[in-house]
Amino acid sequence: MTFIWPEMLWLLAAVPVLVGAYLYLLRRRKKIALRYASLTMVRDALSAGQTMRRHVPPLLFLLAIVAMIVAVARPAAVITIPSQHDVVILAIDVSGSMRAKDVEPNRLAAAQAAAKTFVEEQPRSTRLGIVAFAATALVVQHPTQNREDITAAIDRLQLQRGTAVGSGIVVSLATIFPNAGISLQSIEGAKARPDPWRSATDPFKTKEPPKPVPPGSYTSAAIVLLTDGQTTTGPNPIQAAKLAADRGVRVFTVGIGTPDGEIMGFEGWRMRVRLDEETLKTVSSMTRGQYFYAGNAADLKKVYRGLNSRFVLERKETEISAVFAAAAALLAVCSAVLSLLWFNRIL
């Protein structure tokens, strides 16, 4: 457990002072009782059970003070809490290499089946969107809570040429922030223009860049990106990941295929397709997401199930001042109630 305002803990130094003051008052009261009452009355009044019970309400009140001081210091701890993701975008690679059958029945079919399982297990309050990318990227289904529409969009995915991982990330961001002016055109040719917001005369510029926030701090949305190949066109995936990181959106990347690559034939063309794990790991690391590798259909389903559990419940550092404040209030009430029941007075 950590504290946001640890300097307030010095108030705990008052606890020993309060204990000392309480003991002093007890001795003083005992002297007064001996002075004005007979020894028999004092002995009866200060029996063992009565003596122990009289200390319980003050002890509870002291614990309440300690809990209040700790609450003022704003404690924080890493706990498991329900996720607050309002929107999850599934960005799925539909390049020609997804027809490979090293993942039965083929990579695309396995990805579709796993994605539909993921959709079914998401909370009904979560809006899901589908982005497909090959040589470019487009929104197949805008975020919705209608699971039938999402499933139908996944089933409509068709193979195309090219692989533009960066485009998939950018279009996913534009879907999450529809009014932010993010567009694929704003960073097309990003390799030649390192900064997509570079100048006021830039014809691709849309709006002023937002003030960057800590990576992974935007908990209302996340992107799940699945691909099986290297980027062959479109914007640099690392630059696209930086846009996501600056907006606090986490990108979870899923790699499917063979890292060493294999020869694929497609419409008379033959090419070597290789999974670019290094880039996917960098993208997930930059955005505080996580990279997963799926070598077969069973692995892919496990990955999506693992992602589902991460979205439903997640561990994060959370301020727990309210817990200590509630404990302090409960202890104070118990102290007052017991004092009234036993001694007809509060403390």
pLDDT in tens, 306-320: 776 566 555 667 788
For residues 15-24, give the mean pLDDT: 86
Q: What is the CATH number of domain 85-180+216-295?
A: 3.40.50.410
Residue 100 token pair: 């490979």
Torsion of CA 145, 149, 150, 152, to 10 degrees: 170
Highest mean pLDDT among 23-37, 193-207, 230-244: 230-244
Between 340 and 271, name the one with better pLDDT: 340
Q: Which of 293, 314, 291, 313 shows the shortest CA–CA distance to 302?
A: 293
pLDDT score, position 179: 85
Q: Check pLDDT > 60 for residue 188.
A: no
Between 153 and 263, name the one with better pLDDT: 153
- Helix spans in 208-320 (H): 237-246, 277-286, 297-312
pLDDT in tens, 58-105: 889 899 999 999 999 998 887 655 555 688 999 999 988 888 887 778
Domain ranges of the chain: 2-77+319-343, 85-180+216-295
pLDDT in tens, 205-245: 445 567 889 998 888 889 999 998 788 888 999 999 999 99
Q: How far apart are CA 1 and CA 337, in angstroms?
A: 32
Contact 99, 262 (CB under 8 A): no
pLDDT in tens, 38-49: 555 555 555 555
Between 194 and 233, name the one with better pLDDT: 233
pTM equals 0.63
